[in-house]
C-alpha cells in the first residue's frame, strides 16, 4: 500500500525539472518537419503542456544497478490539444524507472499541426531510441510504448501504423524499424467512428471536416494486423469521456489477428485517473501492468547490460 501511495502522489508532487537521471533530447535536431508558427508553448501549473512546436524526449533512467534493458516511450493524454505531462508522463516514467525500465517521455505536436505530425513524432521517437540503444543501455528489441487517452491513440498508432508512409519524413532514421515491441494502453482513444468516438480527439487530430475514409483509416481497430505488438489494455466502466468500447473493439481486433493481448476492465475510475488512489481495484493497475511486463520477461535484467 505504501508503494501505491507513493506512485499515486507522484503526479502532484514530482518536480518537472530534470534530475541527475533525466535529460531532454530534441526529437528533430535537423529541423521539425512541416514547421510553422503557432502560439508559444505553454506549461500550466498542473503540469499540462500546450502548443508544442519543438518535440522532445525526456529520458528518465533508472539507477544503474536496477536497469534491466527495457525501454518505454510514454505518450501523455490530453485529447491531442494538450499533454497531461505530470499525471500521465512524469508519474508513469518514475513508476517505470522504479522497475528498472528506462522511460522516454514524449512531448509531441498537437492540434496546432494535426495529422501526420503526432504520428511522425512517436515513430521518430521509437527510431531514435532504437538507433541509440547502446548509448541508453537498452535492448533494441525491448522498446515499448505506453499511452493514456489520446496518448493511447498515439501509442496504438505506433503499433498499427509503424510502416505508414505518413510517418516517414525522408530522414536517414526512416531506415530504422519504428515497430514497438509491446504496448500498454490506458483508457485509450481507439476509434474515430460512432458510437464510441471521442469527438474532441477526432477533431483535434483530423480537423472538423474529416471524411468518412479518414475516420475509418484512423479507427485503429481497423488497422490491426498480425504484426501489431503484444498489448495490455486497461479501462473502466465509469469512463464517460472515452467509453470502454474503445478498448473492447481493439481487443477483439487483436484477438482476431492472433496478437497476444490482455485486458483489465474495472468498475470504478473516471477518465484520466492516472495513478490516483480512491478508484477501487482500478488503483491497482500499476501492479497488474508490472506483472504483465514481468511475465513477458521485460523486467529481467539482460546480458547486454553494463556491469
8-67 pLDDT, tens digit per residue, is: 444 333 433 334 467 999 999 999 999 999 999 999 999 999 999 999 999 999 998 899
Mean pLDDT in residue range 211-226: 98
DSSP 98: H
> Which residues neighbour 126 within 8 Å (Cβ) at sequence distance 6 or greater?
73, 143, 145, 158, 162, 177, 178, 179, 180
Higher pLDDT among residues 13 and 90, named by residue: 90
Quickly count helices (H) and strands (E) in the chain. 10, 11
- Over residues 237-281, the pLDDT tens digits come to 999 999 999 999 999 999 999 999 999 999 999 898 989 888 899
Q: What is the pTM of this model?
A: 0.92
Question: Is residue 307, in this structure, part of any structural domain at all?
Answer: no
On whether residue 257 sits in a domain, the answer given is yes
Buried b (16+ CB within 10 A) or exposed e, 89-122: bbbbbbbbbbbbbbbbbbbbbbbbbbbbbbbbbb
Is the predicted pLDDT of residue 307 greater than 60, yes or no?
A: no
Classify residue 174: in a domain, yes or no: yes
Is the model's pLDDT at 145 over the cut of 70? yes
The dihedral through the CA atoms of 289, 286, 96, 114 has a sign that is positive
The number of folded domains in the chain is 1
**CA proximity to 58, closest of 9, 100, 94:** 94
DSSP state letters, 187-255: S----SSTTT--HHHHHHHH-TT--HHHHHHT-GGGS--TTSPPEEEEEETT-SSS-THHHHHHHHHHH
Under the banding of pLDDT at 50, 70 and 90, the label for residue 163 is: very high
* Residue 302 within any structural domain of the chain: no
Residue 23's domain is classified under what CATH number?
Answer: 3.40.50.1820
**Residue 271 in 3-state DSSP?**
coil
* Structural domain contains residue 212: yes
- The answer to whether residue 301 is domain-embedded is no
CA atoms within 13 A of residue 8's CA, in its CB half-sphere: 15
Q: What range does the domain containing 182 cover?
A: 2-28+38-295
Site of grid cell 480527439:
201
User: What pLDDT does 7 receive?
Assistant: 43
Bridge partners (DSSP) of residue 25 are: 57
Distance of CA 282 to the CA centre of its chain: 19
The H or E element containing residue 184 is strand 182-186
pLDDT at position 181, please?
Answer: 98
Q: How far apart are the first and last CA of the chain?
A: 32
Residue identified by cell 503484444 is: 230
Is pLDDT at 70 greater than 60 in this prediction? yes
Question: Looking at the domain assignment, is residue 305 inside a domain?
Answer: no
In a domain, 303, yes or no: no
Amino acid at each position: 500500500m505504501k508503494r501505491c501511495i507513493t506512485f499515486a502522489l507522484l503526479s502532484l508532487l514530482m518536480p518537472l525539472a530534470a534530475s541527475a537521471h533525466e535529460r531532454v533530447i530534441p526529437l528533430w535536431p535537423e529541423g521539425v518537419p512541416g514547421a510553422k508558427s503557432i502560439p508559444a508553448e505553454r506549461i500550466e501549473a498542473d503540469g499540462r503542456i500546450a502548443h508544442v512546436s519543438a518535440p522532445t524526449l525526456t529520458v528518465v533512467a533508472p539507477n544503474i544497478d536496477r536497469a534491466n534493458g527495457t525501454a518505454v516511450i510514454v505518450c501523455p493524454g490530453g485529447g491531442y490539444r494538450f499533454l497531461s505531462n505530470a499525471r500521465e508522463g512524469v508519474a508513469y516514467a518514475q513508476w517505470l524507472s522504479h522497475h528498472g525500465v528506462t522511460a522516454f517521455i514524449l512531448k509531441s505536436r498537437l492540434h496546432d499541426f494535426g495529422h501526420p505530425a503526432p504520428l511522425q513524432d512517436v515513430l521518430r521517437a521509437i527510431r531514435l531510441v532504437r538507433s541509440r540503444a547502446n548509448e541508453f543501455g537498452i535492448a533494441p528489441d525491448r522498446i515499448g510504448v505506453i499511452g493514456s487517452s489520446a496518448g493511447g491513440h498515439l501509442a496504438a498508432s505506433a503499433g498499427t501504423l509503424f510502416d505508414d508512409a505518413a510517418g516517414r519524413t525522408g530522414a536517414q532514421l526512416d531506415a530504422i524499424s519504428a515497430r514497438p515491441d509491446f504496448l500498454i494502453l490506458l483508457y485509450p482513444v481507439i476509434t474515430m467512428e460512432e458510437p464510441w468516438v471521442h469527438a474532441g480527439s477526432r477533431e483535434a487530430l483530423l480537423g472538423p471536416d474529416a471524411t468518412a475514409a479518414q475516420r475509418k483509416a484512423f479507427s485503429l481497430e481497423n488497422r490491426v494486423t498480425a504484426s501489431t505488438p503484444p498489448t495490455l489494455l486497461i479501462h473502466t466502466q465509469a469512463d464517460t469521456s472515452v467509453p470502454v468500447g474503445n478498448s473492447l473493439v481493439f481487443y477483439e481486433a487483436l484477438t482476431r489477428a492472433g496478437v497476444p493481448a490482455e485486458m483489465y476492465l474495472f468498475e470504478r475510475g473516471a477518465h484520466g485517473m492516472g495513478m490516483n488512489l480512491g478508484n477501487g481495484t482500478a488503483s491497482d493497475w500499476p501492479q497488474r501492468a508490472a506483472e504483465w511486463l514481468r511475465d513477458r520477461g521485460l523486467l529481467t535484467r539482460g546480458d547486454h547490460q553494463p556491469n
